[in-house]
Structure 1
Amino acid sequence: MFPRFIPPVISAIILLFIPSGGLLAQKAVPVLESIFPGGGQAGQSVDISITGEELEGATGLIFATEKHGFTIETEALPSVTSPESPNRFRIKIPAGAKAGRYGVHVRCAQGLSSPRGFVVGTKPEVIESGINSMKDRAMQISVETIVNGRTEESASDFYQIDLEAGEKIRLSCTSEALTSRLSASLTLYGPDGSELDRDRDNSDRDAMVACSAPSSGRYFIQVSDFTFRGGPEYTYRLEVSRGPQVLFMYPPAGESGKTTTHVVYGRNLPGSDPARRIRLGNRLLDVVEAQVSIDSLEKFTDSTQIRQSMIPTGAYQLQDGANASNPIPLGVSTAPMVLETETGPGGDSQSVQVPCEVQGRFDQTRDLDRYRFEAKKGDELWIEAFAQRIGTTVDATLLIERMIRDPEAGESLQPSGSADDLSDDTGERRFPLPCGDAALPFTAPEDGTYRVTIMNLAGRGGIDQVYRLAIKTPTPGFELV
């Protein structure tokens, strides 16, 4: 029981150690919640508005661009509503600025704010009209343009574009790169009002559509949040480009030091054979093959999720004359690559030699793949599945078993380890790390043959349900993100 009376001397000592703002008072942390527009063209000046908390005394914006060899200059613009807390800035992007996504902070009285994403582009950029929430008020735009917009609650944004018959375009609505709250929904309509393509709320919360214009005329584009939310924090960049759209590749990685053959899946792919098209959901995808030297690719820098950015990848683009596709990440395998040999759920395991990296795919519903390898007692291995970190929806789980062969009793399996989701959440909300991939350290308890079974807990199968499975000696390392 606590005493009812505290001697005056003790009371004075207690009060001496209580901060003036209260026992639990903490210094306010500046939070940058939105920046609009979320990008700008190299060589141009852009007026930007910001919203957030504890941004009093803001004097400028700081862009993380210096290590890339350029600096974005900023100046505060007068604020009518709050002169002591400017929320508008003019920035100057140098003509030689490298295109890409960069972090931006607000410099204010309490220090630097939390970051947001800002994209430097090479195409002309415009800002949505703000009155384009109905189809009959659709904003006119053109190909090879980027529109900076933001959605309002319970509303969509409409755009119109004139195309010639046979003109091939792709549209991307980017949200994740801006650290926006928008879960993008993107729909393309033909001149007759028919829906030509639709995409929504992918694993990165972006959306992409494409078409080869069936006739000359005016086409309409609808952008919204998937659940029709809106406000200053629901920003997006709508890019309209010519050229092919690449969705994914198989195998999803290339071996360092080698040229490998990959199957490319997408829309408007040059040289594609209509007879080889494959249906995925409501889309018919073109299929072509490409020879790729992974070492010749530039590093993929468009990753917006921390887990993905920690995996070495090259940026692959498919050329169609003067036009290039959107860049997509192609993994870099430092171990000998092995392609999965499909055996089906009841089939035998595929023999692999350690170290290796298997490139696999769940072709059918409730598919599972098995691989066996030899190990000596005490051998230490790192067994890891890459799926959601390479952009697929596979929810991988691993099971390790020792295969015991007895001349009389036959073959039996002894469980030796298992793994499910990577649940490390040390980054908390600002730097979320959990994902549905699986990994585990493994030490062979005896000489013998071991089997790895990889399954998709989501149960789905199809051409896009791909994964990478690494079985190799563990090596220490770290990655700064």
Structure 2
Amino acid sequence: MLRLRLLRLMVPLFVAMLWTGTVLAESKISFRQLTRTFPVAVQRGSTTEVQISSNFSLNESHTTFFVPPGPSMDFAESQNKPDEWSDPEETDIGTPFRFRVRVPDDQAPGVYEYRVATQQSVSSVGHLLITDHPVTVEGEAVNDTRDTAQSIRVPAAVCGTIEDFEDVDYYRIAGTAGQDLVCQIFAQRVTRAIHTMAIRYPKIHLMDSMLTLFGPDGRIIAQNDNFVGGDAMLHVRLPVTGHYVLEVRDTRYAGDPRYVYCVEVSHDPLAFGTRPLALAATQDIDVVLSRPENTPLGAAALVSTDSDPSNRVRVNLVNDGQPALDAKRYRNRLIRGLFESGRATNPVPLLVSSRPQIVATDDRGTDNPRPISLPVGISGYFTGPNQTHAFQFAGKQNAYYLFEVDSRRRGLAVDSVLTIFDTAGKELASNDDGYFTKDAKLYFQAPADGDFVVTVRDLNGRSGDRFAYHLTAEPSGPDFEVHGEYYYGMLSPGGQAIWFVRLKRLNGFKGAVEMRATGLPQGVSFTPVTIPPGMNHCSLIFSAAMDAPINASLVRVSGRSAVPRANGETVQVERQAHVTAELRRAGASRFYRAPIKTQLLAVTKPLDLTRVTAKPDELTLPRGGKTTITVRIERSAEYSDQVLIDMAFSFFSTKYGEQLPAGVTMSAASETKLTDADLEATIVLEATDQALLVERLPVAALARVPITYSIMTNYASNPMYLTVTPK
């Protein structure tokens, strides 16, 4: 009875603690899985509240990071919300938390990536659209028929949700005959890196939007499915004065609370590029903004270039206050034109460089290629169906050359194919898609001295105003790319975190690569590591001082090396890491990836494992021999479940992150699981007779806490230094 009385007293006390903002110690601590931002757009120059939903709590959020920088976002809940752990289902959107967003007046419109750091953890990726237009939120009243359409005023950024299967949203717009009406939806672009978008197995994930405009008489005026990816856009000239209705839906009639969207509605045409797409950094030039492809050229909304420069932008690329350009690099600059009304267009990217830039012409096909000297940048436009642009360059035997198309990554439409021919017309090399993009990229090694032809075409032979591309053509050589597992990490004071690098060696590159990690949180240090020749991976080990404060920062990982070039020259290069986010898709496909921009590392409150230590600090392993590591963990009082011990970032039999040199493996005699009160395990490393020789290579033992079926939190031991010696 006493026990029962205590329980009766404890339950209301527990509930009271939750609702008065007291935070109880957490167990099974994971990164925070952001699922939904609503409304998903904020007008620049404004301060407003949004709700961010998350699987796992955002209580005690202290910092939010935006890329590009500028906006700020603060936790706006007056007290902490109840926080009870549960294994999220694929359809869960978690708990909503209020945040207050402030956007500067001069912030450029566009989709921004953001991350949240709490005192206990860090978040996955979220997206927020910064817009020029006043934000209108889908109302509570029913708007799922044309008769019940919600009235909006133009211009507007209409934020809504296709929240269930067969949901359709309607909006009523007053229009005048002769007006241009432009409707552009942001749906996939503001959810593409959400961690969990498993709507229905096997293939329904991101929203595939469709926009339909009905006239005053109920007939369809215009309809569009895909414009940028699966995001639709309409640009029409209204035929009569009256009330029009805009329909927003998924093409498959799919829906989910995570299907948030913003439709920008205005009377101004949409600028989607420049002509040319790139300029030499020493030029002052007018850039003409492209018109939407479903608007006739010469439309009154954009006056003629010859009669009025209102659709031109004068870009001074020398004295604009921007940093000086490296002659070997390109840089994106956002520019805006002015309409006759004085309003600015949406920003469009312009590539600037000190390299020569030319414009392709349609009369130079494979039978009449245009001679070019490398390096050069080429802006091209497909103005008719089935066009191919061809360029002839001189190559030297065994020399490497790089050709890279930029179109889809700029919101343009070319699905590019690059092909290299010799002068007899024999195909020597070809490429269709690049890294997470339809933009082609091709390294070519010339088999002999002589002339070669590189061609660019659209995969499906399409053409039009948006079928524009920029081609980079330049000498190349041995090089490398940095990939890996490093998009978030947590460590408590006195603890360690570990990321993994995977090196992609290009064009015969065999050199050592020094890894760098900059922008670390206060109180965190990075163990220097160099990937030696013969090795293509390593670990990045971070350590927090015992007195490190709770804080977080965006970290940048890069690799630096001396690479050989023509004529025996050596060039120092630094390559920024390609960053991807892990996405959960239906069917437990854990390691689907999407490219992102941010790497977030944080010092947090104590985690499930308060310490992981490994001995000895110095590991000497002879070829053909073995060595033993003793790993010891300290658990928090709240966590008593299993802990997995490893030397690699594994999921079942697949290794996604490795750190041991070739020929060194973890023996089957190793202890790989600690359960209940177990605190100590033994790892046995063994080397083959041909193991790669390394000297003091930093490695760490992994201790992994399972959170869900597919998610684990990685902990690392102190750095150990591995030396592999001859027999």
2:271 aligns to what SS in structure 1?
strand
- Indicate yes or no: 2:177 matched with 1:151: no
1:73-92 deviation digits (Å, cap 9, x = unpaired): 32225699879996231415
1:203 is the counterpart of 2:212: no
Show the 5 A alignment for 1:2-21.
Answer: none
For residues 159-198 of structure 1, what are the structure 2 equivalents within 5 Å?
A: 159-179=171-191, 181-198=206-223
Deviation at 1:464, TM superposition (A): 3.4
Indicate the structure (1 or 2) with the bigger Cα radius of gyration: 2
Q: Give, as a single letter, the amino acid of the residue that structure 1 aligns with 2:54.
A: G
Gap change, CA 1:469 and 1:122, over 3 Å in 2: closer
Q: Deviations over 1:369-411 (max 9, x none)?
A: 32112234465432222232233333323232343xxxxxxxx
Distance 1:292 1:95 in 2: 23
Alignment of 1:42-441 (within 5 A): 42=44, 46-53=48-55, 55-56=56-57, 58-60=59-61, 62-65=63-66, 68=69, 71-76=72-77, 87-93=96-102, 96=105, 98-100=107-109, 101-107=111-117, 111-130=121-140, 131-152=142-163, 153-179=165-191, 181-258=206-283, 259=285, 262=288, 264-266=290-292, 272=298, 291-295=312-316, 312-343=332-363, 347-377=367-397, 379-403=399-423, 412=424, 416-422=428-434, 433-441=435-443
Would the aligned equivalents of 2:66 and 2:114 in 1 still touch at CA under 8 Å?
Answer: no
Q: What TM-score comes out, normalization by structure 1 length?
A: 0.74
**Residues 223 and 41 (structure 1 numbering): CA distance in 2 closer, same or farther, change over 3 Å?**
same
Compared CA separation, residues 330 and 192, structure 1 to 2 (3 A): farther
Alignment-mate amino acid for residue 64 of structure 1? F
Matched-pair contact (CA < 8 Å) for 2:61–2:119: no
Amino acid at match of 2:136: V
Q: Deviations over 1:90-146 (max 9, x none)?
A: 415266573544333344575112021123445332211141011111111101222
Cα distance in 2 for residues equivalent to 1:56 and 1:149: 24
SS at match of 1:312: strand
How far does the alpha carbon of each residue in 1:251-306 deviate from its partner, in whole angstroms, 9 at most, with x for none? Answer: 333333321564733279899268xx9xxxxxxx998576544556999xxxxxxx
Cα gap change, 1:66 to 1:316, in 2 (>3 Å): closer
- Secondary structure of the equivalent of 2:414? coil
Q: Is the 8 A contact 1:77 1:90 kept in 2?
A: no
Larger mean Cα displacement after TM superposition, 180-189 or 83-92: 83-92
Mapped contact 1:185–1:225 kept (Cα < 8 A): yes
Normalised to the residue count of structure 2, the TM-score between the two structures is: 0.51
> Is the 8 Å Cα contact of residues 28 and 110 (structure 1) preserved in structure 2?
no
CA RMSD of aligned residues (A): 3.9
Deviations 1:237-263 (A, max 9, x none): 122223222344543333333215647
Shift of 1:42: 5.0
2: CA distance between counterparts of 1:261 and 1:46? 35
Check whether the contact 1:316–1:330 (CA below 8 A) recurs between aligned residues.
no
Is this contact kept in 1: 2:213–2:245, CA < 8 A? Answer: yes
Letter in 2 for 1:458: N
2-structure distance, mates of 1:205, 1:321: 31
- Extract unaligned runs of 5+ from structure 2: 1-26, 86-93, 193-205, 322-329, 477-570, 578-596, 598-727
Stretch of structure 1 that moved more, 60-69 or 243-252 = 60-69
C-alpha separation between the residues in 1 aligned to 2:188 and 2:281?
29
Cα distance in 2 between the residues matched to 1:78 and 1:43 = 28
Tell me if structure 1 keeps the 8 A contact 2:364–2:370.
Answer: no
Q: Is the 8 A contact 1:248 1:266 kept in 2?
A: no
SS of 1:114's equivalent in the other structure is: coil
Question: Is the 1:70–1:94 contact (alpha carbons within 8 Å) kept by the matching residues of 2?
Answer: yes
Compared CA separation, residues 199 and 66, structure 1 to 2 (3 A): closer
Deviation at 1:442, TM superposition (A): 3.4
SS state at 1:389 partner: helix
Report if aligned partners of 2:46, 2:105 keep a CA contact under 8 Å in 1: no
Q: How many residues align?
A: 419
For the 8 Å contact 1:211–1:267, the answer to whether it is kept is no
Question: Matches of 2:67 and 2:364 in 1, distance apart?
Answer: 51
CA distance in structure 1 between the aligned counterparts of 2:346 and 2:230, rounded to whole angstroms: 16
What is the CA distance between 1:150 and its match in structure 2? 0.5
- Contact kept in structure 1, 2:68 and 2:112, CA below 8 Å: no
Tell me if structure 2 keeps the 8 A contact 1:163–1:213.
Answer: yes
**Residues 444 and 92 of structure 1, relative CA distance in 2, 3 Å threshold:** closer
CA drift at 1:236? 0.8
Of 471, 474, 490, which residue of structure 2 is paired with 1:472?
474
1:228 deviation in Å?
Answer: 1.8
Deviations 1:309-353 (A, max 9, x none): x97243343422222333333333542122223237663222122
CA distance in 2, matches of 1:34, 1:120: 16
Partner of 1:30: 32
Q: C-alpha displacement at 1:202, in angstroms? A: 2.5
Asked whether the equivalents of residues 74 and 92 of structure 1 are also in contact (C-alpha less than 8 Å), the reply is: no
Counterpart of 1:56 in 2: which secondary structure?
coil
Do the aligned partners of 2:49 and 2:101 also contact (CA within 8 Å) in 1?
no
Query: What fraction of aligned residue pairs are identical, expressed as a percent?
Result: 24
Unaligned runs of 5+ residues in structure 1 are 1-24, 278-284, 300-309, 404-411, 423-432
The Cα of 1:223 is off from its aligned counterpart by 1.0
Q: Determine the C-alpha separation between the residues in 2 that align with 1:322 and 1:162.
A: 23
